[in-house]
Amino acid sequence: MTKILVVDDSNSIRDMVSFTLKSAGYETVEAKDGQEGLSKAQAGAFDLVISDVNMPNMDGIALCEELRKLPAFKFTPILMLTTESSGDMKMRGKAAGATGWLVKPFNPEKLLATIKRVVR
C-alpha cells in the first residue's frame, strides 16, 4: 500500500490531509513538526512526504534538505504545503530538493488529484 508521511504542526490540517488520504486508500503516518517527521522518516520507508513549511523546531524546508541526504529518500517525492503562491517560496522549496508544492487553501479533491502526479 502506498505509504505517505504527513508533517504539519496544525492538528486540523494534518487530520484533514491524513483522513483524505486514508479514505482514498493510502496509508499515512503523521508528524507534528520537521523534527518528528525526520525521525519517523528514518524509521520507515515512505512513497511520499507531504510537509507544511512553517513549523516549530524544524521547518519544512530544513526537513526537505535533511530527507534528501538520506539514501532512502533520494527519489521520494516531497510536496510542500505553502500558503504563499509566490515564486520565492517555490524556489526555496525546489532548492531544498522538494518535488512540488500544494498551495493552501486546498480541498480534499484537489489534494488527491495533485498527488497522483507523484504517487501511484
Partner 1 sequence: MSVDLTQFIPSFLEESFEGLELMESSLLNLEQGDDETINSIFRAAHSIKGGAGTFGFNHVTEFTHLVETLLDEMRDGRRNIEADDVELLLESVDCMRLLIEAIRDERECDSEKIAENSKRLEEALAASGSVMSEALTINADDAPTDNSSDIARWQIKFIPEHHLVQTGNDPLLLFNALADLGKVSLEANTKELPTLNDIDAEELYLSWQLTLHSNASEADIREVFEWVEDECELIITKEVQDQPLEAVTEAVTVVNTLEGSSQNEQADLTPPIEAHFAEPTPKNNTDKPVSKSKNDLGSIRVGVDKVDSLINLVGELVITQSMLSELGSDFDLSKVERLNAGLEQLLQNTKELQESVMRIRMLPISFAFNRFPRLVHDLSKKTGKEIELILKGEQTELDKTVMEQIGDPLVHLVRNAVDHGIEPAQVRLAHGKPEKGTIVLDAYHQGGSIVIEISDDGGGIDRQAVFNKALEKGLVDEKTTLTDSQVFDLLFEPGFSTAKEVSDISGRGVGMDVVKKNIQSLGGRIQVESEQGKGSTFRVNLPLTLAILDGQLVRVGKEVYIIPLITIVESLQPQKELINRVSGDMLLYRLREDNVPVIPIYQLFNIPCEFEHIESCLLVVVEADGQKIGLMVDDLLAQQQVVIKSLNDNYQQVQGVSGATILGDGSVAMILDVAGIIEMALTKAQINQQHQSSVQSQITRSISAGVNA
CA angle 108, 90, 109 (to 5 degrees): 10
Asked if residue 117 binds partner 1 (CB under 8 A), the reply is yes
Strand partners, 57: none
ω into residue 105 within 30 of 0, thus cis? Answer: yes
Asked if residue 57 binds partner 1 (CB under 8 A), the reply is no
Q: Is the dihedral of CA 57, 62, 68, 69 positive or negative?
A: negative
Asked if residue 51 binds partner 1 (CB under 8 A), the reply is no
Smallest gap from Cβ 36 to partner 1, in A, equals: 13
For cell 500500500, the residue is: 1
Smallest gap from Cβ 23 to partner 1, in A, equals: 4
Residues that bind partner 1 (CB under 8 A): 9-13, 15-16, 19-20, 22-26, 52, 54-56, 74-78, 81, 83, 85, 94, 97-101, 103-110, 112-113, 116-120
